[in-house]
Amino acid sequence: MKVLVVTKKYGDGFTGATSATYALIEQWKNMNIEIIVYTLNIVGKTNDEIKIYKFNHLKELITSLKKIVSKKEKIMGYSDDHLGFLFRIASMKYIHTYHGNWPDAMFNAGFGGLIRGIWFIPLYGLTIALSQKTINVSKYMLRFTKKFNHNCIVIRNGIGLGKSNVVKRRYLLQKSTLKVVMVGGIDQRKYGYLPKVLHAINPSLSPKIQIYIYGSIHDQELGNVLKTYTNIKIMGFVDEVPYKDYDILLTTSKSENLSVAVVEALASGIPVFGFEVGGLPEIVINGELGELVPLKSYLNLVKTLETLATTGEILNFDNSKIISDFSWKKAAESYSTYFMEERC
């Protein structure tokens, strides 16, 4: 079986979507699925032993799509972003995975988010509507994708930890210095609230709350602001985040679909604290796997961090209920079934 992946950007580590596609391709290769990638940009690490074609513009890409169809091969399309509708221009069937956080991001990323939403939401809507099936990585986003296509299901992403462990323990989370990890490219959506949180922390407690950020700086101005805080260390992008070196994961995202970093943290045995957005409440059980507070209630988040750094908090941590769903092998097998059912 052949699968043709069409994506604007291809490569591990650029976004959650590109990393997910990379991980799925690695599994599909082991299932004797021949993979071809058509892309406009190559960023980060690429999969070995697959055919990758980079095009300078959409016209070239569409022309190549039509040539493949003219050969009348048995081939299935796969889309991980807003360009999926291009398959239909070439009369090819495809499955789409919705990793996005529109329309939420439209209202939580300032004027720029509004403008980008006006452009991207119709393209995603078209891509979802024309797909044979749209895969969601969270139940939360079904409310968006089902507006365009009733044939929508949920397949959880996997996690990039190799082996995930079931962790069950009751413990008092209290440290003389709270080591906090944050994961994701530095932009307004993920870290826009972080300066407010940092500024509101009691100055006497700031040294007790050390925050390590793993991710590239996409918003240089915001990155420069974060660098002014003495309890912030920007670690840059790494292939594998050492979650177990930290006490908690903090997320200040204004909108999410379902963060892979949050799943990886829970699978590593550390709790998650942050805002109650997107699909996060599906996996972060308050009082057990961490605590989520309503969006924009950053003072409640500050209070939680201060409590963790002083009196501590008792958690009945048990990740067994969620990590079994997050397997790249399991996800790839589910996709393979649908490829066989829907292929041209």
| 49 has a pLDDT exceeding 60 | yes
pTM of the model: 0.83
Long-range contacts, 32-35 (Cβ 8 Å, 24+): 32/1, 33/1, 33/2, 33/3, 33/336, 33/339, 34/1, 34/2, 34/3, 35/2, 35/3, 35/5
Which letter does DSSP use for residue 286 in this model? B
Say what percent of the chain tops pLDDT 90.
Answer: 59
Residue 176 has pLDDT above 80, yes or no: no
pLDDT (0 to 100) of residue 211: 96
What pLDDT shows up at residue 206?
A: 92
* Mean per-residue pLDDT, 97-112: 80
CA distance 229 to 207: 10
The dihedral built from the CA positions of residue 280, 168, 215 and 198, taken in this order, carries a sign that is: positive
Smallest CA-to-CA distance from 282 within 263, 295, 297, 301 is with 263
pLDDT at residue 164, rounded to an integer: 60
Query: Residue 326 pLDDT more than 70?
Result: yes
pLDDT at position 160: 66
- The CA distance from 265 to 278, in Å, is 17
Consecutive H or E run containing 30: helix 16-30
Q: Which fold has domain 168-323?
A: Rossmann fold (3.40.50)
State the chain's mean pLDDT as an integer. Answer: 89
More confident residue, 332 or 159: 332
Whether pLDDT at 220 is above 90: yes
Measured CA distances, 107 to 53, 104, 114, 218 (Å): 35, 6, 6, 20
Q: In this model, does residue 208 exceed pLDDT 80? A: yes
Mean pLDDT score, 91-114: 83
> Could you tell me the pLDDT band of residue 296, with boundaries at 50, 70 and 90?
confident
> Which CATH number does 2-158+327-342 carry?
3.40.50.2000
Tokens linked to 194: 């972080």
* 322 pLDDT higher than 70: yes
* Lowest pLDDT segment from 25-29, 162-166, 218-222, 309-313: 162-166
- Location of each CATH 3.40.50.2000 domain in the chain: 2-158+327-342, 168-323
Q: Which bin fits 274, alpha (ψ -120 to 50), beta or left (φ > 0)? A: left
- The stretch 71-100 carries a mean pLDDT of 91
Q: What pLDDT is stored for residue 110 in this prediction?
A: 65
Q: Which amino acid is at 312?
A: G
Average pLDDT, stretch 75-92?
93
Percent of the chain whose pLDDT exceeds 70: 94
Lowest mean pLDDT: which of 37-41, 162-166, 307-311?
Answer: 162-166
Residue 272 pLDDT: 95
Distance CA 63, CA 259 (A): 35
Amino acid code (one letter) for 286: N
- Contact between 238 and 172 (Cβ < 8 Å): no
Burial of 146 (0-12, 13-18, 19+ CB in 10 A): middle
Question: Does the pLDDT value for residue 175 go beyond 70?
Answer: no
Residue 344 is predicted with a pLDDT of: 45
Q: Is the dihedral of CA 153, 154, 160, 164 positive or negative?
A: negative
Stronger pLDDT, 142 or 161, i.e. the higher one: 142
- Looking at per-residue pLDDT, the higher value among 169 and 27 belongs to 27
Residue 28 clears pLDDT 90, i.e. is over it? yes
Work out the average pLDDT over 193-212.
93
Task: Give the helix ranges, DSSP H, for 179-257.
Answer: 188-191, 194-200, 220-227
The three state secondary structure string of 47-59 is: CCCCEEEECCCHH
pLDDT of 222 reads 94
331 touches 156 (CB < 8 A): yes
107-118 mean pLDDT: 73
Contact 280, 264 (CB under 8 A): no
Look at strands 34-42 and 51-54 and give their pairing. parallel
Angle 115-116-118 from CA coordinates, rounded to 5°: 65
DSSP string, 158-193: --SSSS----EEEEEE--SSEEEEEES-BSHHHHTT
Structure confidence at residue 15 as a pLDDT band (50, 70, 90): confident
**Other CB atoms within 10 A of residue 101 CB:** 26
> Is the pLDDT score of 299 beyond 80?
yes
